[in-house]
Amino acid sequence: MTAITLAAEIGSFARFRSSAQLMAYLGLVPREYSPAKALGGEA
């Protein structure tokens, strides 16, 4: 990925309050939400 492609995809970097938000947008920070009830476990 080149810098030009990244800049074109992101648009304005100012819309991200932190670098963590930018990384999450790019899919570089995996997050998982899995409550126990949804998995059939006890809450």
- Domain edges within the chain: 1-32
Report the pLDDT value the prediction gives residue 42, as an integer from 0 to 100. Answer: 58
Report the pLDDT value the prediction gives residue 7, as an integer from 0 to 100. Answer: 84
* DSSP structure string for 1-43: --HHHHHHHH--GGG-SSHHHHHHHHT-S------TTTTT---
Judged by phi (left if over 0) then psi (alpha if -120 to 50, else beta), residue 27 lies in left
Q: pLDDT of 1-43, one tens digit each?
A: 588 888 888 888 888 899 888 888 888 877 666 666 655 655 5
Report the pLDDT value the prediction gives residue 5, as an integer from 0 to 100. Answer: 87
Report the pLDDT value the prediction gives residue 31, as an integer from 0 to 100. Answer: 66
